[in-house]
Chain A
Amino acid sequence: MPGETIRADKRTSSQIRPISSVLSSLNRADGSASFSFGNSSVLCSVYGPQEVKIKDELLDRATIDVNITPQIGIGSTTEKNMERIVREAFSDVIISSLHPRTSISITVQITQDDGSIISTIINAVSLALIDAGIPLHSTLLSVTCAILNGEIILDPTNEEMKDASSIHVFAFSNTSNDIVSSESTGVFTEEEYFKCSDICKLAVSSVLKFVHTAIERKLQKEQKN
């Protein structure tokens, strides 16, 4: 598009980085997936529905447990906050009433963090849950955008996030046009917020297309015989 700024990595403001994902890479887990936006990548494993500790047991649904480990060192409040965001986002996506008194354990290892890491994590978790065959109401996917020098840029890198005036993470389901999960920080106006949500919604539909193709390919491999 004429007049659109070119970013440091030669992308336009409305371009996300190349996406890639690998399913079922861990052979002990019930489900696993890795997902990356450019240089930001995470690996996620899912175990469940499996036995739950009595103190965590819920009588009418499964207990969802999320653990995120950063690239370097041990988790801090940053990771705890991300765990809460992820757990709450998937709380209504996972049909936990089908497996009462069990636990669904989601473990995420950040292998590389170059911005938009929460979105990368949400996408990896979605794919890992799908790989594990956990019943889901919908496919939840996420994209981050930032407002830098007054312009909305999609899928920012760490460098871009540092200088941004606000950062917005949105997650959408393939069953509704409404916002499922939203975390926005910085200083911004309501207008900017809703514009960001529209832009992220469009980007999520292209991530959805990619996920669909990835699943199709995996199924073709399984159906070979």
Chain B
Amino acid sequence: MSETTEFQPYAILPGETISLDKYKNDKDVIKIGPGLLHEKQQVTAIKAGTLKNHNNQKWWIDSSQRRYVPSLNEHVIGKIIAKTQDYFRVDIGSAHSALLSTLAFEGATKRNKPNLEIGALVYARVSLANKDMEPELECISATTGKANGFGELKDGFLIKCSLGLCRSLLNPNTPILTALGEHFAFETAVGMNGRVWINTPDISNTILLSNAIKNSEFLSAKEIKQMVKELVKQSEDDMEL
């Protein structure tokens, strides 16, 4: 039985190779994730970031970038930029715009198609992502065929942020959303393509919250609580005016 050593995440540059031998047991299958490339018997980093692993079996590089590259089954927020009889063209921030079939909605039939306008926002799932083709989206769950939260996002406000921030917002215990949730009632949708949608009944609150989320990217949990406190105070002061 080979020895496995304790792994500490560390910063890595493109081109650096990783030797996984000291971390694996003989019967383990190692999975290589984002930022790593397995080529010619070596695992090399192709992005700069922090090398992380899960149970010494799944390895990936944690890095934040701004440009979205579509990946299968990710949930994204897109804006309708064109529509034809059979599909909508959606801008999801990637190099190519995505196609959303008009039948890919719950309860849609040839006679009963969704009526989305150009400029409308949709929350969808990436159903086809491959480097040579245009990405495709669906607004129904892969397994049940029901909407499950996908579909049009009415009203509200869309902000663009880095992919790293979106990933951290999807964590149910994320400090910024829980802190804001203690004081405000709001609806939010987070797309893995660097887009976040927020909706509150009051427009000034919507703007306040979106700025708070944008600013929270590099703050620690303590600083976030502090910032939210100040925002609450500010909004109460505004209401008094």
Contact = CB atoms under 8 A, between A and B. Distances in A.
A211 B13 contact: yes
Nearest to A47: B67
Contact of A174 (B16, B50, B224): B16
Given A95-B37, A222-B164, 12 more contacts: A30-B66, A50-B95, A51-B95, A95-B46, A98-B131, A102-B96, A136-B14, A136-B46, A138-B15, A175-B15, A219-B63, A225-B218
A133 B168 contact: no
B220 interface: yes
B14 A132 contact: no
Interface in B204-238: 216-221, 224
17 contacts: A48-B95, A50-B67, A52-B95, A95-B37, A99-B69, A102-B95, A130-B13, A132-B66, A133-B65, A137-B14, A139-B13, A139-B15, A173-B15, A174-B13, A175-B15, A219-B50, A225-B219
A224 B67 contact: no
Interface residues of A, number: 36
Contacts of B132: 100-101
Interface of B: 11, 13-16, 37, 44, 46-50, 62-67, 69, 94-96, 131-132, 164, 168, 175, 216-221, 224
A173 to B, nearest CB: 6
Interface residues of B, dominant DSSP: loop
Given A98-B131, A174-B16, A51 B96 contact: yes
Contacts of A135: 14, 37, 46-47
B11 A215 contact: yes
Q: Which 5 pairs across A and B sit closest by C-beta, in order of nearness?
A: A133-B65, A138-B15, A136-B14, A102-B95, A216-B11
A223 B50 contact: yes
A115 interface: no
B96 A136 contact: no
B167 to A, nearest CB: 11
B219 A215 contact: no
A221 interface: yes
A80 interface: no
A23 to B, nearest CB: 10
A163 to B, nearest CB: 36
Contacts of B218: 221-222, 224-225
A49 B46 contact: no
A195 interface: no
